[in-house]
Structure 1
Amino acid sequence: MFDFAAYAGLFSAAFVAATIFPMQSEAILVGLILSDRYSLAGLFLAASVGNTLGAAVNWFIGRGVEQFRDRRWFPVTPEKLDRAQAWYRKYGKWSLLLSWLPIGGDAITVAAGVLKEPLPIFLILVFIGKSIRYLVLTAATLSLI
């Protein structure tokens, strides 16, 4: 039986986790894998696509960030954003492969928007990076079973 709620919950957690809001999706993925009730391919796709689309929110924020970057409520400090932009200028679009990093990954995706990386290239590279992370996490979880 297909349990839409489990996949939708994982997708949602992965989506929010990739935005500038603090959340983690890894524990949910591991729990669902360990339950042995769900398709590994389905879990992998839900997490990878959700996380990639969440990162796209950051890209869109980056497109309009200049008008908000100095406001107190803005979640990325001007210093972190400046560092991310410098990193992005130095390493270019390939730095998006590291968008899965827990520290700095969100700033890289915002910087890509600020620096107007084309959305299709952004989505492809972010999907590759985030998918590799979920593949490694899945493999590590399966090795525990």
Structure 2
Amino acid sequence: MEIWMHQLLQWLALPQFGLSTVFVVSFVSATLLPLGSEPAVFGLIKLNPELFWPAILVATVGNTLGGATSWWMGLGAHKAVDKARGSTTELRALRWLQRLGPKACLLSWLPGVGDPLCAMAGWLRMPFWLCVFYMAVGKLARYVTMTTALLYLMPGAVSL
């Protein structure tokens, strides 16, 4: 397994796979796996400043699709628990999220809580497309803000 993962990472690091690497890393980092996509986005843009907007958009799409996958995983988990119990499940800890509704998915960019937030939105059966919209807005804002800040704060930053 370790050899396969090392080979995959070497393949994804090739320059001709820059945007596809950003997509894969952004997608995987938005699931429940602990991985940050910002270094991949920043690295690609630092090496290829002309890819600022394409990289931001690809990362946003990948991260949003990963969040949507987490939403579906949450919905599936809820259905599995309901089926196993023979009745509907309602956890008190999720009631606050239910009160916020799909707008809570704006916070899906937050480290540590953003990914489970998407899964909880699915668990609560919040409207899928509205959740995806709010996920995309939050994630786009994060990538633009963080990447721009890193480019301007790093010595020798490229001009946009």
TM range (shorter): 0.7 to 0.9
Equivalent residue for 1:6, pick from 13, 18, 34: 18
Matched, 1:133 2:142: yes
Secondary structure at 2:102's aligned position in 1?
Answer: helix
| Higher gyration radius (CA) | 2
Matched, 1:59 2:71: yes
More helix by share: 2
Q: Distance in 2 between matches of 1:106 and 1:68?
A: 20
Deviation at 1:142, TM superposition (A): 2.2
| Cα 1:58/1:82, change in 2 over 3 Å | farther
Q: Distance in 2 between matches of 1:16 and 1:87?
A: 27
The one-character-per-residue Cα deviations of 1:81-123 (angstroms, maximum 9, x if unpaired) are 863x233123221111000111211121111111111221111
Letter in 1 for 2:151: L
Which consecutive unaligned segments of at least 5 residues does structure 1 have?
70-80
8 Å CA contact 1:33, 1:141 repeated in 2: no
Amino-acid identity (%): 35
8 Å CA contact 1:34, 1:141 repeated in 2: no
8 Å CA contact 1:32, 1:38 repeated in 2: no
Matched, 1:89 2:98: yes
Equivalent residue for 2:115, pick from 102, 106, 114: 106
The one-character-per-residue Cα deviations of 1:54-89 (angstroms, maximum 9, x if unpaired) are 0011111111113269xxxxxxxxxxx863x23312
Which of structure 1's runs of 4+ aligned residues deviate more than 2 A?
A: 66-69
Q: Distance in 1 between matches of 2:73 and 2:101?
A: 19
Q: For structure 1, which segment, 20-29 or 36-45, has the greater mean C-alpha deviation from structure 2 after superposition?
A: 36-45
How many residues are matched? 131
Query: Pairwise CA RMSD of aligned residues?
Result: 1.9
Which consecutive unaligned segments of at least 5 residues does structure 2 have?
1-14, 83-90
Q: For structure 1, which segment, 85-94 or 4-13, has the greater mean C-alpha deviation from structure 2 after superposition?
A: 85-94
